[in-house]
Amino acid sequence: QQQVKQSPQSLIVQKGGISIINCAYENTAFDYFPWYQQFPGKGPALLIAIRPDVSEKKEGRFTISFNKSAKQFSLHIMDSQPGDSATYFCAASFRDTDKLIFGTGTRLQVFP
């Protein structure tokens, strides 16, 4: 019940296209859902985060869509660029403990 399931495992998108990564969870006690971006040789970096009382959050080309009833959330990267090529992790956290439970990651490759 503490798992966060992420798909797809890898994604290839052409420059200018939309990248979509999906995550699903079971435990309704999760109350914070961040997305992290990781480049090779670096630690994950916080990209954008959402709480369950909001259905969508947008920051620049990155948007989180959140469906509380379906217990799913997704990351949309508009106008994908080669510089977006990285591994993306969704995560979830409980209210009373800030430890992050990560999805398995999606390796995104954006080709020119």
CB of 25 or CB of 103, closer to another protein: 103
For residue 33, count CB atoms less than 10 angstroms from its CB and return exposed for 0-12, middle for 13-18, buried for 19 or more.
Answer: buried
The whole-angstrom distance between residue 5's C-alpha and the CA centroid of its chain comes to 11
Residue 89 binds another protein (CB under 8 A): yes
Candidates 17-25, 26-34, 59-67, 77-85; binding stretch for another protein (CB under 8 A): 26-34
Alpha carbons 73 and 6: distance in angstroms, whole number? 10
Query: Taking the complex as a whole, how short is the minimal distance between the CB of residue 98 and another protein, in angstroms?
Result: 6
Alpha carbons 11 and 20: distance in angstroms, whole number? 9
Query: Taking the complex as a whole, how short is the minimal distance between the CB of residue 82 and another protein, in angstroms?
Result: 22
Query: Taking the complex as a whole, how short is the minimal distance between the CB of residue 112 and another protein, in angstroms?
Result: 27
Residue 49 binds another protein (CB under 8 A): yes
Alpha carbons 51 and 54: distance in angstroms, whole number? 6
Site residues, another protein (CB under 8 A): 31-32, 34, 41-46, 49, 51, 89, 91, 93, 97-105
